[in-house]
Amino acid sequence: MVLALISSAVSFGLWRLGWLERLESLSWDWRARLTAAGPTPQSEQIVIVAVDQASLDWMRQEQALNWPWPREAYAVIVDFCARAGCASLTMDLLLSEPSVYGSGDDEILGQAATGYNHLSLPLFLKWENAEESLWPAWAEPSLLHLSADQGPEIWPQALSGIFPVQEVAHGVQLGHAHGVVDADGVYRRLRPVLVLAGRPIPALGLASFLTFMGPAEIRRDRRSLSLRALDDSWNRLLPLDDEGRLILHYRGPAESYSHYSAAAVVQSELFLRYGQPPLLSPEFFADKHVLFGLTAPGLFDLRPTPMDGQFAGVEIHANVLDNFLAGLFTMPAPSWLALLCLFGFPLALTPGFTGRGGISRQVISWLLGLALPPALALVMAGRHVWLPLAPVSVAVILSLLTASFYLHAGKERHKRYIEKAFKYYLPPEVVRRIVESQEDFRLNGEEREITVFFSDIRGFSSLSEKLLPNQVVQLLNRYFTPMTKLIRQHGGTLDKFIGDAVMAFWNAPEDIPDHSDRALEASLSMQTALAELNPDLERDFGLRLSFGVGLHRGLARVGNMGTAELMDYTAIGDTVNLCSRLEGLCSYYGLSLILSGETKDACSGPFVFQKIGLERVKGRIRPVEIFTAFYKASLDPGFRDILAEWEDALDHYEAGRFSTARDIFARLAKVRPDNKLYQVYAERCRYYIAKPPLKDWDGVFSRTS
């Protein structure tokens, strides 16, 4: 969470400093192109009459006129629009210099404009002083009126203006043609009003709108613009950005509006004057908003927009007019929504790098982080809302990168901790698998099923009395080295040495499905290894060793236990205590291995089990079924017969037929005088014959020590 907040704060700072403006602008252009609405009922009413290359060629070839054309040609177009009953006509031409064809040429256009009161022309505003710093007396007053309670100072102030020549401008509405150019040179915004000499100058597209809709009062609030007809017949409420600008909602790519060649319009008007069929019917232009402008590449009126890098200036004005007609501009996202996305997305996505789930959760977080902000921003753009995408995406990417780095660093620390914690307990390959694993082994402790191992050297105290202290250490090292090696080779976790005893367990920290089989295999292999080691021990130390092993499977608490300064990875619980008790029974029965029934039932390897009986060990009420085990391959046929007799004798014993059982045990003791087990049971039968147990005796031998 902290990383997410820091990443969001960094991205917010970069955003406010303007360092993400270029990236945000490019992302908006992508959204604007994908969500362009295309023609609407309002845009169907907009027509562009273009001075295209075909018009230039026709005028040069047929009329012997080069650019610029005489203004009489423009007057022909005005007359055609007046004849057709066009809703408005906007001529995107800066006619600030007298015509090169003489003042009479200007007057012809002026007369045509006077007869058609829906014409708008641009003027050029300047931000330095000039002779024409005041509003000329001959210029028409603006149809736009400032609200009575707001002065002109709230709008950007121009210091001077370049007007169309007086002969042309009389009776014409004027609008400024100053688009807002972003830092990358793209036209995305518009200042709806500029002020000159205290008079509001609407944008050219807005002037076109007003020539059709009539005069209006304008009022600006912090984030909105209100237009209201003076006769209250209509109103518009439009969103502004923080700098009081309108964000244009482009309808589509270049030539989204109907285009007609200026040459065709001129010819049509001339044909009509001479009673000939026109190329273009005036009826088609009835009630249409006509914008006249330059589209030929050589006339250099092409501008970059979000839609296209080569977008005619007249088409920008057409989009402005379209937006006013529809009352639809793009709205900047509310600050609370932008901040919610900026801080919310990283906070929602970084938890994918915590807890369980591994790489899959991280991949999902990355996919969502890369997809959700653009998807939401695209949906909002379709609803005409500019939701900042660059700062949100940067915040998400920063948070995911820092979370990935933090996770990687944590994993490295975890790996080092695991290596340190387990390198003395587990085989190197097991430690490597644990380190490479994505799992959380919960080193603070967890309850899981394990197979516990206890071993102890028989009679070691008396043996050590015959040796010097340094010889005792050497002897134990010679013994422990091969024994612990076998434990680790079989996947066991070496817990601790307790004097001459060894404790180990299987199935922690790594999951081992056949952990009981492995524990038993290790125990039997240790018997073989000790038999091979004993000749060397007898040669070097003058003695032979034997040991007993107890195995039990059950639930135990496994994990790091101790203090903050000193801890050990170990297992505790009743399972461990019982295993220790089983190991202690080895000496009593003269066996090298005793395992519980739970362990025996879980084994599926090549083993033969010999049931020892039912024991109620000290401290437990529930009896334990105990066994010893052998490899099948190690048994000779004679011993198999002995096992069969043993099982028969044990059945008699548990059924209370002690005399019959005694005879069989005694016979087995003579056949195998080295096996203390048969002698123990023969003596136990004699005891029960002399002192019979209770009638409800369940065959369990209760141990008190």
> What average pLDDT does this structure show over 98-119?
92
R_g (Cα) of the chain, nearest Å? 49
Burial 17-45 (b: 16+ CB within 10 A, else e): eeebeebbbebbbbbbbebbeeeeebbeb
Query: 390-422 vs 21-34: helix axis angle to the nearest 10?
Result: 110
Q: Who contacts 141 (Cβ-Cβ below 8 Å, separation ≥6)? A: 199
pTM of the model: 0.64
Q: Is residue 366 scored above 90 in pLDDT?
A: no
How many Cα atoms occupy the beta-carbon half-sphere of 423 within 13 Å?
6
> What average pLDDT does this structure show over 328-356?
85
Separation between Cα atoms, residue 77 and residue 72, nearest integer Å: 9
> What average pLDDT does this structure show over 298-326?
92
Q: Is residue 244 scored above 70 in pLDDT?
A: yes
Q: Quick one: which of 509, 592, 589, 513 has its CA closest to 550?
A: 592
pLDDT computed for residue 437 by the predictor: 62
Give the DSSP H/E element, type plus range, for residue 597: helix 597-602
- N-to-C CA span, the chain: 57
Enter the DSSP assignment of 590: T
pLDDT computed for residue 696 by the predictor: 84
Q: Who contacts 311 (Cβ-Cβ below 8 Å, separation ≥6)? A: 187, 254, 302, 303, 304, 305
Give 164's strand partners.
none
Q: Who contacts 53 (Cβ-Cβ below 8 Å, separation ≥6)? A: 296, 297, 298
Q: Which of 221-225, 256-260, 499-503, 558-562 has the lowest mean pLDDT?
A: 558-562
> What average pLDDT does this structure show over 536-551?
95
Domains of the chain: residue spans and CATH? 3-10+333-418 (no CATH), 36-329 (no CATH), 438-633 (3.30.70.1230), 636-705 (no CATH)
pLDDT band at 447 (very low <50, low <70, confident <90, very high): very high
pLDDT computed for residue 434 by the predictor: 65
Average of per-residue pLDDT values in the chain: 90
Helix (H, G, I), strand (E, B) or coil at 601: helix
Can you give 392-448 as a three-state secondary structure string? Answer: HHHHHHHHHHHHHHHHHHHHHHHHHHHHHHHCCCCCHHHHHHHHHCCCCCCCCCEEE
pLDDT computed for residue 430 by the predictor: 58
Separation between Cα atoms, residue 683 and residue 690, nearest integer Å: 11
Instruction: For residue 302, give both structure tokens.
Output: 């092409």
Q: Is residue 506 scored above 60 in pLDDT?
A: yes
pLDDT band at 438 (very low <50, low <70, confident <90, very high): low
pLDDT computed for residue 680 by the predictor: 95
> What average pLDDT does this structure show over 70-81?
96
Q: Is residue 354 scored above 80 in pLDDT?
A: no
C-alpha distances (whole Å) from 567 to each of 11, 417, 431, 450 are 44, 13, 18, 20
Per the CB < 8 A criterion, the answer to whether 558 and 445 are in contact is yes
> What average pLDDT does this structure show over 62-72?
93
% residues pLDDT > 90 (the chain): 71
Q: Quick one: which of 705, 648, 660, 651 has its CA closest to 685?
A: 660
Can you give 164-220 as a three-state secondary structure string? Answer: CCHHHHCCCEEEECCEEECCCCCEEEECCEEEECCEEEEEHHHHHHHHHHCCEEEEE
Q: Quick one: which of 559, 553, 585 has its CA closest to 572?
A: 559
C-alpha distances (whole Å) from 180 to each of 190, 305, 547 are 5, 11, 92
Instruction: For residue 47, give both structure tokens.
Output: 């027509």
